[in-house]
Structure 1
Amino acid sequence: MMGREFVPVAGREIAAAGAGAVGDVGEWWSQARCRGLPTEMFFVPDGDRGRSRLVREKRAKRVCQSCPVLRQCGAYAVSAGERHGVWGALTPMERAERRVLLGIEEALAAGA
């Protein structure tokens, strides 16, 4: 993914992931503030830990904070089970916590 342009959800079928609650992909992702920015701004390398990881995540979250589709993006990422990157100002860990609280994790594991 390094060096590629970040296009949130580009071309992905999200209907099975609860798109009804999130909205059609064409309704929100084209307005995302991150659209066109380098992918590596939102996806921290697996080996990146500690302070370096926190700095990268904080930088990505700053972009998200002023995004007009912040809520839709975060809702999509939680419901779709996105496991990587910062989506809707939420890190993978923050999204995992929300999935557990909402009971989504079990549904994803069961293939719902």
Structure 2
Amino acid sequence: MTVISRLPGATEEEWDWQLRGACRSADARLFFHPPGERGQAHEDRDRAAKEVCAHCPVRERCLGHALETRERYGIWGGRTEEERRRLLHPRRRNRNRGR
């Protein structure tokens, strides 16, 4: 569940970047896997979604939004759920490396 207290205010300036997203001309189902999708089908869909993101003018803004709001599902800014989780919560050994 998205925690709405983390969402930016409802001003046009906060959301207008979405109008420039490369994903706007793609089927939204490309970015969200259906229940039970596994294996090659899952990898192929993720790869196709990331290809759309690779050419997106607002990719970094999209990823920033997903990280800030802790989006739990879908490809955002060219990153999967697991990839975003690793960005937010690096493994403990990486944090303790300098000690």
Q: TM-score, normalised by structure 1?
A: 0.68
Corresponding position: 1:52 with 2:41: yes
Residue identity in the other structure for 2:67: V
> How large is the RMSD of aligned CA atoms in angstroms?
1.8
Q: Is the 8 A contact 1:79 1:99 kept in 2?
A: no
Residue number in structure 1 paired with 2:94? none
Higher relative contact order (CA 8 A, sep 6+): 2
Structure 1 runs of 4+ aligned residues shifted over 4 Å read none
Gap regions ≥5 residues in structure 2: 91-99
Q: How many Å apart are 1:36 and its aligned residue? A: 3.8
* Equivalent residue pairs, number: 84
Match of 2:15 among 10, 13, 25: 25
Residue identity in the other structure for 2:14: D
Q: How many Å apart are 1:17 and its aligned residue? A: 2.5
* 1:35-84 Cα distance to aligned partner (Å, 9 max, x none): 14211111111200111101100000000000000000011111111111
Structure 2 CA distance, aligned partners of 1:65 and 1:36? 14
Which of the two has higher C-alpha Rg?
2
Percent identity of equivalent pairs: 35
Corresponding position: 1:65 with 2:46: no
Residue number in structure 1 paired with 2:28? 39
Higher helix share: 2
Q: Is the 8 A contact 1:84 1:92 kept in 2?
A: yes
Structure 2 CA distance, aligned partners of 1:18 and 1:99? 17
Structure 1 CA distance, aligned partners of 2:74 and 2:32? 4
